[in-house]
Amino acid sequence: MLFGLESLVNQLPVFIAGVTALIFSIGFHEFSHVAVAYSLGDTTGKNAGRLTLNPLKHLDPVGTLLILLGAFIGWGRPAPFNPQNLRYQRYGSAFVALGGPASNLLLFTIFSLVLRLVYPLFGPENLLTVFLQIFVIMNASLLLFNLVPLPPLDGSWLLLALLPRAADPLRELLSRYGWALLLAVIFLDFGLRVPIISPFLYGGVLFLTNLVGIVPYLGTI
C-alpha cells in the first residue's frame, strides 16, 4: 500500500463516498424503525425527534467516530419505541425491527437500478459510479448482517417473536448475553477467520447482486 501524498489524494474521494454512503444508509435504517413503530401506534420515537430523514439525528457518537476514522463500520443510535404501545403485541416489535433491513433492501434495489443506468454512461472510474458501487454493496451487507438472529441485531427480534413460550430460558439467555455472543462471533469470524456468519454474508451479497444483475458493474472497490 502506498502512503504518498498522491495516493492519499486519490483515495480521499473514495473515502468520502464511503463515509457518506454509510451515514446515509444508517440514518435511513434507524428512521425506518421509528416510522414503522409510529405506523403501529407508538409515538416514542416521534416525540424524541427521531421521525426524520436527517441522518445526523440517528448517529451514535462512538459509531460515528469509527466511520470518520475510516473503519467503514459504524452504527446508529437505537431507535426508541415502547412495545406496549404497538398495535400488534406479539409481533409488533418484530415488525419494527424488520423495518431497518427492509429500508436497506429498498435502497439496495433503487440504487442498483441507478448503477445499471449510470455505469454504461460514465464507466468504472467515475466518482458517481464508485459511490453507487459502495452504496449498493453497503446496503446489501447491512441488510444481511442485521438479519443475524443475535441481540441487539434486528433479526433477534424476529427470532424472539417466533420462539414458543417453552423457549423462555433461551429467550432470557439471548436477551442477557446477546451482545457478548455477537462480539465473540465477530471476533472469531473476522478476526480469527473461523467461518460462522461470513459465508452467509458473502453468499447473500453475491445472491442479491446476481438477482438484480449488477455483478458486471461492481468491479473492484
Summarised one tens digit per residue, pLDDT across range 63-87 is 777 766 755 566 789 999 999 999 9
State the total domains in the chain.
1
Q: How far is CA 9 from the centre of its chain?
A: 28
Scanning the structure block, which residue is given the C-alpha cell 453497503? 138
Grid coordinates belonging to 25: 444508509
Residue 103: give the domain boundaries. Answer: 5-217
DSSP SS3 for 198? helix
Single out the catalytic residue among 6, 30, 125, 172.
Answer: 30
Grid coordinates belonging to 83: 412495545
Give the DSSP letter of residue 189. I
- Asked, as a colleague might, if the bond just before 83 is cis with ω within 30 of 0, I would say no
30 is catalytic: yes
Using the predicted structure, report yes or no on whether residue 149 has a pLDDT greater than 50. Answer: yes
pTM above 0.85, yes or no: yes
Mean pLDDT taken over the chain: 88
Residue 99: name the closest of 21, 35, 23 by CA: 35
